[in-house]
Amino acid sequence: MFLQIASIVFPVFAVIVLGFVYGRRHRPDMIATNQVNMDIFVPALVFSALASHAFSLADVQWVAIGGIVIVLGSGLLGLPIARALGHAPRTLLPPMMFKNAGNMGLPLLLLAFGEAALPAAVILFLVENVLHFTLSTLWLGRSANVLRVLREPVFIAGAAGIFVSATGAALWPPVLAAFKVVGDVSTGLMLFALGVRLNTAPFAEWRIGLVGAVATPATGMVLAGLYCWIFGLSSAETDVLLLFGALPPAVLNYIFAERYGQEPDKVAAIVIVGNLVALLSITLALAIRLAA
């Protein structure tokens, strides 16, 4: 089992370490690169994952609902934690709720469970991001523009992919192949960019960083396990949701905190420390599923 877990986890964290080392030496400006990734490469991955499969929303509806339960439930469980430890809920709760389903989740689920898990992984990524953009802007910025969120390239690509698969529209195979080639760039680039980002860790806020690093996967895995057990989800669905629950906070949490002035240094500490120690929670989730 150890070798099986290592074969899944090692490529993910090796690329993150590569990004960290390169970022420490060269200090690259990743803003334009990340923008291209979110505008081109990730949408291509989403479209190719959905359009190239015999995809039905009914096949992933329980996974999608589970993603919503994990996101919202983590906020509810995190509220008493924030109050007990004296942290502002608007600082601690969003990183606990919104996980790194892009940079880490998509590559990890693909490596762990293969191409068969990709549609479910993409749906979780879309669900988490819709909730993140709407709830974070509503809570932190006191306003939300759902239409603006749905105009993002990744959501347009998701809708197009679902439409192609659901209608059985026949696309020329080289077109799908081109989307896949472009989309495959995104997974490695997301991990590399995460490694570069780790160089900006504000370690003065390590205490709240450690709280978030522990609470985020703990609440996510508990909620995922309870949800799958109560509703009797299949082994494949449980695999995906438990690993999703074990993911660390998304880097996007820091961007929102910085945009709305919600203690960005503390949020950055939660995100970065959470991603640094994610090896433990991800290894635990994989061990639980492989032993089942």
Question: Which DSSP string corresponds to the chain?
Answer: -HHHHHHHHHHHHHHHHHHHHHHHHH----HHHHHHIIIIIHHHHHHHHHHTS---HHHHHHHHHHHHHHHHHHHHHHHHHHHHHT--HHHHHHHHHSB-IIIIIHHHHHHHH-GGGHHHHHHHHHHHHHHHHHHHHHHHSS---HHHHHTSHHHHHHHHHHHHHHHT----HHHHHHHHHHHHHHHHHHHHHHHHHGGG--GGGHHHHHHHHHHHHHHHHHHHHHHHHHTT--HHHHHHHHHHHT--B-THHHHHHHHHTS-HHHHHHHHHHHHHSHHHHHHHHHHHHHH-
Residue 63's pLDDT band, with cuts at 50, 70 and 90, is very high
> What integer pLDDT is reported at residue 163 of this predicted model?
87
More confident residue, 157 or 245: 245
Convert the pLDDT of each residue in 189-232 to its tens digit: 877 887 887 787 666 777 898 999 999 999 999 999 999 999 99
Q: State the pLDDT confidence band at 51, using cuts at 50, 70 and 90.
A: confident
- What is the rounded average pLDDT of the residues 52-59? 70
Find residue 249's DSSP bridge partners. Answer: 99
Q: pTM above the 0.85 mark?
A: no
Range 2-291 classified under CATH 1.20.1530.20: yes
- Residue 79: which pLDDT band, with cuts at 50, 70 and 90? very high
